[in-house]
Amino acid sequence: MDKEITFLQKHRYHKNANTIFRMSHEDFETIEFATENWIHQLDKFINRHKSEQVLRLLELKRYYLADNNIKYKPAKTDEFAADNRIASDFARYITIFEQGYMLGQPVQYKNEDEMIQEQINDFFKRNNEDYHNVLIKTDLSIYGRAYELLTTVLDETGSAYVKLVKLNPEQTFIVYDDTTDNNSLFGVYYYTLDYGDGIRKDFVNVYTADMVYMYVNSNQEEKGLHLYDSDDHVFDGVPINEFANNEDRTGAYEPVLDSIDAYDLSQSELANFQQDAMDAILMITGNPYTGTAPNDLDEDGNVVPNSKLAVSLAFKRARIMIMDDNPNPNGSTPDAKYLVKEYDTEGAETYKQRLVNDILRFTFTPDTLDANFSGTQSGEAMKYKLMAADNRRVMQQRLFEKGLMRRLRLAVNIWRIKGNDSIAYDQINNTNVIFTANVPKSDSEIVALASQLVGQVSDETLFEILSTVTGVDPDVELARIKEEAEETPVPRRPGVDVIEDDQEEGNEEIS
């Protein structure tokens, strides 16, 4: 890496590594997007993002890829000592747990207006929204923030539809106004293309509420960053949508990076101990040094061959140490033994377990290896074990829902343009976003619960509860039951229905 890492010391990031970029609304209104003054300001925003914030984002992504700081710890001064670097994968474990716990069961949308429900279903089906949400949540757990771009594309029939594109947080940011409403003024997405042979181009796209401005900076041109194209859009809002993992925009495992480093160091030193024990130095006493050179070092500071120092280094490479007791008036007393450090196995394991407990506790992640965390636990017992994680999930869901609703409010403008003028914002705002925690459940408990609710709730609600057991959508199940009722005649009761039919016929004759 270009940047030297300070291992387990000082602050990791710039003080503005997670601040929100802002501009007053009055200054934004005066921007002329093709002028040098604005391009200079835009360049300053991008440079701030690169110098103050990207380093944090890159480090968090490294930990997700198990490329932890232990890999960049300064080398040991003893070149002969074992120096293993073992990185743990806590970051990915925590990320996958959070992502699966909140979105393992896909988000559902319910709107009483059939036209809006149809538009929502088509929108998310086209974009494979379930998987897209998982990508967004993964970025939230890694970076603490995530971005998506809404754009319009044409399908095979030439009809326009809204497409969702996940943007890399390492290349994206939004500038907000300075009001308490926290309105987004414009979003920036920048990237570089390397064409080889020293040719590269830097591209910057600026998205406002009604326009997208495209800038380029080629190293083959002298004019630097300049506007080369622009286009309008009809989303009636900045089409870059930002999600936040929490109010501080911190990642899932960001608060425990020091504990992860400490665990990596403990694991690495254990591996070093084992390797050094396998390569333990053999100490031999009672033999003289064989080096005969008068000096250990020459004028240039190099080791003189056949000197005592040269022989000692050679013995160390061979994992042998000579302890000279010559001259000895009583004669030599030869002996040989290995030099091995003592290792407190119990203390080391207790220390590592405490680190593991801290990492999981401070990230609200349950320890699935816990002996008490087993498949024999009842649903209620599982709820208590997941209570801390559930509290965190609920808070994250509220912020995630905020981003999902903004996504719908942007998309509705395109739906209205396509001829659905009857769709309004207040109808979209009535959409109910439903999250279902992805936790192990006993099918028998779910069926028993549904049985107890018969007659107290609607059939649709019952089928929603049972859908986790049957795997069938509630609407589909209701349609199946209706179809079966129409196809299957009501069974006749032997004797009873015949008498009733005869009585009815008799009554008809009398009348």
pLDDT at 82: 79
pLDDT at 286: 59
Both tokens of 363, joined, read 């990230």
Q: What is the DSSP string of 246-301?
A: STT---SSGGGHHHHHHHHHHHHHHHHHHHHHHT-EEEEES-------S-SB-TTS
Q: What is the DSSP string of 207-220?
A: E-SSEEEEEEEETT
Q: In what side-by-side order are the strands of the sheet with 320-323? A: 320-323, 281-285, 335-339
Measured distance CA(353)–CA(357) in Å, rounded: 6
Side chain identity at residue 402, one-letter code: K
Closest CA to 230 of 213, 208, 206: 213
pLDDT at 498: 47
- For CA atoms 423, 426, 432, 433, the dihedral sign is positive
Closest CA to 256 of 342, 125, 364: 364
pLDDT at 407: 95
pLDDT at 227: 94
The region that residue 352 occupies, defined by phi over 0 for left and psi between -120 and 50 for alpha, beta otherwise, is alpha
State phi, psi for 284 to the nearest 5 degrees.
Answer: -115, 125
Q: In a 3-state reduction of DSSP, which class is residue 150?
A: strand
Q: What's the chain's Rg over C-alpha atoms?
A: 35
Q: Within 10 Å of residue 334's Cβ, how many Cβ atoms?
A: 10
Residue for token pair 């590592």:
352
Q: Name the pTM for this structure.
A: 0.77
Q: What is the DSSP string of 47-106?
A: HHIIIIIIHHHHHHHHHHTT--GGGGSPPPS-TTS--------HHHHHHHHHHHHHHSEE
Terminal CA-CA length for the chain: 102
Contact 136, 245 (CB under 8 A): no
pLDDT at 4: 56
Please name the residue ranges forming H helices in 453-495.
459-470, 474-487
Measured distance CA(286)–CA(250) in Å, rounded: 62
* Pairing label, strands 145-154, 160-167: antiparallel
pLDDT, tens digit only, all 511 positions of the chain:
545 566 677 788 889 999 999 999 999 999 999 999 999 999 999 999 999 999 999 999 999 999 999 999 888 877 777 788 999 999 999 999 999 999 998 999 998 888 889 889 999 999 999 999 999 999 999 999 999 999 998 877 777 789 999 999 999 999 999 998 899 999 999 999 988 888 889 999 999 999 999 999 987 777 889 999 999 998 999 999 999 999 999 999 999 999 999 999 999 888 887 777 776 666 666 555 566 677 778 878 888 887 777 777 777 676 666 665 555 556 556 666 766 677 777 888 889 889 999 999 999 988 877 665 555 555 556 666 778 888 889 999 999 999 999 999 999 888 877 666 666 667 788 899 999 888 766 667 677 777 887 877 887 787 777 777 777 777 788 888 888 877 766 555 544 454 455 555 555 444 3
Side chain identity at residue 187, one-letter code: G
pLDDT at 447: 77
Measured distance CA(18)–CA(59) in Å, rounded: 13
Side chain identity at residue 361, one-letter code: R
Measured distance CA(463)–CA(476) in Å, rounded: 10
pLDDT at 374: 56
pLDDT at 269: 85
Measured distance CA(106)–CA(104) in Å, rounded: 6
Contact 260, 69 (CB under 8 A): no
Contact 365, 94 (CB under 8 A): yes
